[in-house]
Chain A
Amino acid sequence: MRREGSAFQGLGVVTLKELADHLTSIRLFVLELLVMVIALVTVYLATEQIRETTAEDPFLFLKLFTTTREQSPFSFLFFLSFLVPLMAIGLGFDSVNSEYNQRTLSRILSQPIYRDALLFGKFLGALVTLAIALIVLWLSVIGLGLLFIGIPPGGEEVARIFVFLLVTIVYAGVWLALALLLSILFRSATAALTCLGLWLFLYVIWPMLAGQIAQIIVPPDPRYTALGLQTPGTAVLEQILSRLSPSTLFGEVVVALLDPTTRSLGPIYLSQMQGAVLGAPLPIAESMLIAWPQTVGMVATAILLFVIGYVIFQRQEVRA
């Protein structure tokens, strides 16, 4: 039998309340400060490099996000791919368990709303907060770039930067869904630690581990090794495994978006490159097409994590 009324009754109220809570919290202020300082530093380093080396590049502005000083790995992109998860975890790790801790859950759920609205509102509130923070960050980077380089971005560059922003919000959504799920499962300290542990594992350890596992399952062919090449089977498996980490997916999407010359995100055969003008940029639609599977993968991961959390939350007793 259908239950009465809409599952989303009260959704707007919960979302706005969560948003207000986040925007006034000291936690967000600290995170935002950290991100802004890093943006400033990385953009400064990038412009230094761009000024020195670049002669003519039609996508000069995009370089702002990806380049940095030689022998320094600290590009804006590098910081982004590990700070965004940190921000998402920071906002999400105590979203549900704090209602238990403050003993507000049963009081709120005794109002005429469903649990759906509460959980979805918490997710949306945190996601909107992250989106606002990221938009501010984007605008600052673009503004600083204009100041430092003095060349305005072209139309396609703006479009690519905008899509990059959207993908970053999706990436934040994945980690937020994970944090929300753990906040349903564990008390706040445990949830935070588990979240950070998973983040370290997926971001640092898994890419290294993926290569090792791939080599165990598909041992490298000595003929390829002798030529100093990777065995195709091993390389493909390694990539498949490493794509289980959302950080890998995000990295691939960003490469396709910010480097218009990217034609493929995996190993390809020379025969597939026939007729290609190497180094020629692709139109934005083509770049998006290349990044499409990865983007869908991230959206699907976020939805999957949210749904698991949703099902568990629906069955949880309101008494802690």
Chain B
Amino acid sequence: MSGDIVIEAHGLTKTYGRATAVDHISFSVERGEVFGLLGPNGAGKTTTILMLLGLTEISGGDVRVLGFNPAREPLSVKRRVGYLPDTVGFYDQLTAADNLRYTARLIGFKAIDREKRIAAALDQVGLSDFADKGVGTFSRGMRQRLGLAEILMKGAQIAILDEPTSGLDPHATSELLAIIRGFKAEGVSVLLSSHLLERVQSVCDRVALFSGGRIALMGTVAELGRAVLGGGFVVDIEAEGAGLAERLALIPGVSGVEKTGIAKLRLHADRDVRPEAAAEVVAMQGRLKYLGVQEPNLDAIYTRYFATRPDEEMPMKEGTLHAA
């Protein structure tokens, strides 16, 4: 096994009775990489995470975390991996520091080491002033940060974060993402799951799009953009004019036109067709209100992918990506 691969899964499968929650997924995460598991709720992200931690039985396939098998050597895995569960909970009657002390004792840190690690971790997430406050009074964002402090205190080589930003306000989200970038800077690999795409796009090196227990697409955001959007451009137009959609569809290079609202159109093209589109609108004496090109973002990729998935053309792309 290569020294740079920290998580490696082959044909990982989880079935509950007849239902398949995770269906033969394969992926790998490199050291210091931020890897995103993205997909709608119930797509199998959390189940995958629990299997990586040995917290749920593996029905089939093979998985290695830092070279250990989580099903057989869960203690070795859990000693080196930090986990922030979806809506993390703490003992409300204890203070923040006491909650971390309990975890530190469970990990087995010595008393002096413990206090140092806890103080440093709380400082790093900006909770030093709240160390001796009861967790019962903490906001959601503070709980999430305390959860990250726990991972920092643990000195984990891999941080697994399940929906770290869900339910947070924009300010708390950006604080959290900053801490996650800090993990990367320290060489900690991060595996995070989310259904909020735009927020995690900025931190993820690579992403895997989950759908119905399978990995539908995997790669960097740019790679996915090329694959799903066909390397093409999405141009949004807001303009009035009868028959405009039909006219725009005739522009060379435009592969599709969809109506996205009243007098709003979206063009899919293999090049930047903004000049031609503007010319068309003007030629029709239409009133052009907005004209813009979308940068490839996860939201667009995601929406586009799942919107067109029933079509025949997609399995081919899926196949090529899996090979990649």
User: Which residues of A does B touch, CB under 8 Å?
Assistant: 1, 3-5, 9-10, 13-14, 17, 21, 102-104, 106-114, 317-319
User: Which residues of B does A touch, CB under 8 Å?
Assistant: 46, 50, 53, 55-56, 72-76, 78-79, 81-85, 87-93, 102-103, 105-108, 147, 150
A129 nearest CB across to chain B (Å): 16
Residue of A nearest to B88 (CB): A107
User: How far apart are the CA atoms of A109 and B72 in the complex, in Å?
Assistant: 15
Q: Are A4 and B89 in contact (CB under 8 A)?
A: no
User: How far apart are the CA atoms of A14 and B106 in the complex, in Å?
Assistant: 8
Residues of chain A contacted by B92 (CB below 8 angstroms): 102
Contact of A110 among B73, B81, B108 (CB under 8 A): B81
Residues of chain B contacted by A21 (CB below 8 angstroms): 93
Q: Are A318 and B56 in contact (CB under 8 A)?
A: yes
Q: Are B150 and A107 in contact (CB under 8 A)?
A: yes
Residues of chain B contacted by A113 (CB below 8 angstroms): 75, 78, 106
Also in contact, A9 and B55, with CB within 8 A (given A103-B89, A111-B106): no
A13, A109, A111, A318 — which one has the most chain B CB atoms within 10 A of its CB?
A111
A291 nearest CB across to chain B (Å): 40
Residues of chain A contacted by B103 (CB below 8 angstroms): 107-108, 111
Residues of chain A contacted by B73 (CB below 8 angstroms): 3-4
User: How far apart are the CA atoms of A102 and B136 in the complex, in Å?
Assistant: 11
Residue of A nearest to B56 (CB): A317
Also in contact, A3 and B56, with CB within 8 A (given A103-B89, A110-B85, A112-B79): no
User: How far apart are the CA atoms of A277 and B14 in the complex, in Å?
Assistant: 71
Residues of chain B contacted by A10 (CB below 8 angstroms): 105-106, 108
3 tightest Cβ-Cβ pairs between the two chains A and B: A103-B89, A110-B83, A112-B79
DSSP class of A's interface residues: helix, strand, loop or mixed? Answer: loop
User: How far apart are the CA atoms of A104 and B89 in the complex, in Å?
Assistant: 5
Residue of B nearest to A104 (CB): B89
Contact of A111 among B56, B78, B87 (CB under 8 A): B78
Q: Are A104 and B90 in contact (CB under 8 A)?
A: yes
User: How far apart are the CA atoms of A113 and B74 in the complex, in Å?
Assistant: 9
Residues of chain A contacted by B106 (CB below 8 angstroms): 10, 13-14, 108, 111-113
User: How far apart are the CA atoms of A110 and B93 in the complex, in Å?
Assistant: 21
Residues of chain B contacted by A5 (CB below 8 angstroms): 75
Q: Are B91 and A102 in contact (CB under 8 A)?
A: yes
Contact of A4 among B56, B76, B88, B107 (CB under 8 A): B76
Q: Are A107 and B76 in contact (CB under 8 A)?
A: no
21 chain-A/chain-B pairs, Cβ below 8 angstroms: A4-B73, A9-B108, A10-B108, A13-B105, A13-B106, A17-B105, A102-B90, A102-B92, A103-B85, A104-B90, A106-B50, A106-B55, A107-B83, A107-B150, A109-B55, A110-B55, A110-B78, A111-B103, A111-B106, A112-B79, A112-B106
Q: Are B72 and A319 in contact (CB under 8 A)?
A: no
Known: A10-B108, A103-B87, A112-B76. 15 other contacts (CB 8 A): A4-B73, A21-B93, A102-B92, A103-B85, A106-B83, A107-B85, A107-B88, A107-B90, A107-B103, A108-B106, A110-B55, A111-B78, A112-B106, A113-B75, A318-B55
